[in-house]
């Protein structure tokens, strides 16, 4: 591949094995990105840690398709280490594609270039998105790396994406293959992953690893599944319940990776309107509810959940909703309500409704996923007529919302919470649930 190679002498970054790995001095925005919405660990949506608990800046960013949020080195390393620990040869003799990652900024490209030899990678391909196709509020300036290259084109730098390739050719002749041997050229198009040009690269690849644009997570994952490739991509917890994605999880075609510590991390952001978190870092924004979606095996996926029996939970559970109370049956589904993952009874053989966050600990050898409220029709035993919804503020209205999820019968109307009235009975609707069943062999 003809092109210009990278130069050493970068500024500030991680040091590995005595070598400094950093971004070139540049003003272009990063290409790897994440979705900024999230949900709380066990129940209601929580969003981004920000002053006053607000996440309006991120919601505005999503609406404006401000997709430029880039991933820290430590988070990439943590996830890739999980795959390597499970199978040290997972990337050996494979082609790895990073379709949203300009090495001038992306830690994904730098990480895999550093580990190119010790992972045994056959070929590393990275693509970036054209400046003119990004939001207008991104202050784009080409880097010296690009402008000093013989193939630099003042017009194409804005209208075309770029492709970077590292293979086993020692271009520099220094006896090692590393980031200095990376070659680049302009793409024919703008670098959109849906283009025929980038799709052809997907079809060449064995693995696709990136942090895709948060406004395009659904079509991006569909693009990966269509290509029948191994992948590891960052998304947000709400994506678990998307109608396009949950069936993939249910059918073990996609699962969660090792994940971020506490399901939260900081992303770099080029925008001026970033939210102010309590643990804000300069130029960074803290996001909760983020996770890796993958179909690459790792050890955590097969770790057994250590659980108490039903009787032990009722006697010793730390949760007041279970201790001394037991498990309530849904009124409209053939299942019991289990409000916390660690309260799943180890000896219960029937169907259980559990929080979405169960998937972070889901072991397919231990449990079977039957479905969710949106698609488990076999378990639905009742449909309600129109209901009266009573909000926490006391406002009453006629609705049909109670049919959208799992419902519990209440003895009396709850204080400060929304509830529903049907034929003189009072109901509450629990937050999103996944229906599971213990595998007999477990």
Q: How far is Cα of residue 310 from the mean position of the Cα atoms in its chain?
A: 33
Domain end residue (candidates: 245, 279, 301) = 301
Please tell me whether residues 57 and 92 are part of one structural domain.
Answer: yes
What is the rounded CA–CA span in Å between residue 315 and residue 309? Answer: 10
Sequence-distant (≥ 6) Cβ neighbours of residue 29 within 8 angstroms? 68, 105, 134, 138, 139, 140, 270
Confidence of residue 10 (pLDDT cuts 50, 70, 90): very low
Residue 131, Ramachandran bin (φ over 0: left; ψ between -120 and 50: alpha; else beta): alpha
Sorting pLDDT into bands at 50, 70 and 90, what band is 262? low
On whether both 222 and 97 belong to a single domain, the answer is yes
Is the residue at 274 inside a domain? yes
Sheet holding 123-128, edge to edge: 183-186, 162-166, 123-128, 95-98, 207-210, 230-236, 290-294, 255-256
3-state helix, strand, coil in the chain (%, to 5): 25, 20, 55
- Report the alpha-carbon distance of residue 148 to residue 172 in Å, rounded: 18
**Helices (DSSP H) in 115-154: which residue ranges?**
144-147
**How would residue 300 be classed by pLDDT, with cut points 50, 70 and 90?**
very high
- pLDDT (0 to 100) of residue 237: 84
Residues 121 and 138 in one domain: yes
8 A C-beta contact, residue 186 and residue 151: yes
Residue 4 inside a domain? The answer is: no
Alpha helices in 90-190 (DSSP H): 107-114, 144-147, 156-159
| Residue scoring higher pLDDT (233 or 147) | 233
How many CB atoms are located within 10 Å of the residue 146 CB?
21
pLDDT band at 131 (very low <50, low <70, confident <90, very high): confident
Statement to judge: residues 369 and 434 lie in one domain: yes
In a domain, 438, yes or no: yes
- State the distance between the two ends of the chain, measured CA to CA, in whole angstroms: 53
| Sign of the dihedral through C-alpha 75, 79, 82, 87 | negative
Angle at which helices 73-86 and 107-114 pack, to 10 degrees? 40
More confident: 270 or 188: 188
Same domain, 236 and 353: no
pLDDT for residue 331 is more than 70: yes
Q: With 90 as the cut, is the pLDDT of residue 182 above it?
A: no
Domain of residue 392 covers: 305-442
Asked which of 301, 334, 357 is the last residue of a domain, the reply is 301
Same domain assignment for residues 145 and 258: yes
Please determine, for residue 299, whether its predicted confidence score (pLDDT) is greater than 70: yes
Query: 204 vs 169, which has greater pLDDT?
Result: 204
| pLDDT score of 400 | 95
Asked if 313 and 439 sit in the same domain, the reply is yes
Same domain, 143 and 56: yes
pLDDT of res. 43: 33
Q: Assess if residue 10 is contained within a domain.
A: no
- Decide if pLDDT at 264 tops 70: no
- In our burial notation (b when 16+ CB lie closer than 10 A, e otherwise), range 197-232 reads bbbebbeebbbbbbbbbbbbbeebbebbbebebbbb
Q: Would you say residue 1 lies in a domain?
A: no
Does some domain include residue 5?
no
Same structural domain, 293 and 318: no
> Which is higher by pLDDT, 384 or 71?
384
Q: Which helix (H) or strand (E) holds 86?
A: helix 73-86
Question: Where does a domain end: 249, 281, 301?
Answer: 301
Asked whether residue 278 falls in the same domain as residue 342, the answer is no
Res. 40: pLDDT tops 50:
no
Alpha carbon separation from 377 to 239, 333, 437 (Å, rounded): 21, 9, 16
9, part of any domain: no
Question: What pLDDT does 375 receive?
Answer: 87
Which range has highest mean pLDDT (59-63, 168-172, 318-322)? 318-322
Copy the structure tokens of residue 285: 């924004």
CB neighbour list of residue 52: distance below 8 Å, 6 or more residues apart: none
Give which of 32, 25, 31 is closest to 7, Cα–Cα. 25
Give the mean model confidence (pLDDT) for residues 1-16: 35
Name the region of 18 (left: φ>0; alpha: ψ -120 to 50; beta: rest). left
Q: Whole-model pTM?
A: 0.79
Q: CA-CA distance, 37 to 68, in Å (whole number)?
A: 15
Say if residue 9 is exposed, middle or buried (CB neighbours under 10 Å; 0-12, 13-18, 19+). exposed
Q: Which of 347, 352, 345, 346 is nearest to 369 (CA)?
A: 352
Q: Are residues 188 and 312 in the same domain?
A: no
Torsion of CA 224, 82, 440, 307, to 10 degrees: -130
- Model confidence at 406, pLDDT cuts 50, 70, 90, reads very high
pLDDT in tens, 309-319: 999 999 999 99
What's the angle, vertex CA 291, arms to CA 287 and CA 433, rounded to 5?
A: 100
8 domain-assigned: no
Rounded Cα gap, residues 259 and 107, in angstroms: 17
Torsion angles phi and psi, residue 195, rounded to 5: -70, 155
Average confidence (pLDDT) over 192-211: 96
Output the average pLDDT for the chain: 81
126 and 217: one domain?
yes
- Domain total of the chain: 2
């Amino acid at each position: 591949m003809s092109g210009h190679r990278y130069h050493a002498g970068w500024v500030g970054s991680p040091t590995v094995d005595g070598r400094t790995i950093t971004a070139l001095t540049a003003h272009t925005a990063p290409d790897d990105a994440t979705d900024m919405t999230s949900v709380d660990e066990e129940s209601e949506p929580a969003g981004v840690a920000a002053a006053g608990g607000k996440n309006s800046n991120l919601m505005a960013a999503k609406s404006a398709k401000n997709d430029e949020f880039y991933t820290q080195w430590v988070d990439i390393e943590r996830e890739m280490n999980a795959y390597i620990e499970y199978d040290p040869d997972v990337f050996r003799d494979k082609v790895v594609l990073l379709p949203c990652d300009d090495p001038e900024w992306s830690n994904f490209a730098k990480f895999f270039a550093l580990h190119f030899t010790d992972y045994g990678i056959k070929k590393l391909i990275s693509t970036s998105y054209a400046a003119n196709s990004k939001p207008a509020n991104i202050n784009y300036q080409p880097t010296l790396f690009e402008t000093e290259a013989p193939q630099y084109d003042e017009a194409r730098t804005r209208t075309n994406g770029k492709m970077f390739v590292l293979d086993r050719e020692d271009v520099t002749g220094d006896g090692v293959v590393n980031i200095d041997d990376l070659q680049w050229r302009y793409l024919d198009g703008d670098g959109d992953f849906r283009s025929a040009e980038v799709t052809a690269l997907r079809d060449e690849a064995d693995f696709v690893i990136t942090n895709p644009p948060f406004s395009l997570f659904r079509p991006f994952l569909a693009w990966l599944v269509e290509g029948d490739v191994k992948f590891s991509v960052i998304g947000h917890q709400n994506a678990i319940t998307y109608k396009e994605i949950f069936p993939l999880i249910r059918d073990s075609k996609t699962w969660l990776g090792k994940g971020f510590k506490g399901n939260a991390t900081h992303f770099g952001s080029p925008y001026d309107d970033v939210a102010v978190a309590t643990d804000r870092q300069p130029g960074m924004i803290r996001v909760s509810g983020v996770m890796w979606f993958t179909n690459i095996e790792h050890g955590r996926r097969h770790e057994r959940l250590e659980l108490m029996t039903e009787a032990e939970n009722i006697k010793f559970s730390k949760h007041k909703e279970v201790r001394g109370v037991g498990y309530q049956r849904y009124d409209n589904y053939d299942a019991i309500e289990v409000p916390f993952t660690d309260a799943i009874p180890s000896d219960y053989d029937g169907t259980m409704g559990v929080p979405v966050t169960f998937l972070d600990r889901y072991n397919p050898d231990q449990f079977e996923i039957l479905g969710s409220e949106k698609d488990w029709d076999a378990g639905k035993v009742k449909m309600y007529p129109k209901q009266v919804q009573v909000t926490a503020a006391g406002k009453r209205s006629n609705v049909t919302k109670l049919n959208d999820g799992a419902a519990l019968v209440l003895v009396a109307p709850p204080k400060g919470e929304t509830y529903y009235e049907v034929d003189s009975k009072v109901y509450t609707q629990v937050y999103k649930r996944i229906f599971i069943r213990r595998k007999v062999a477990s």
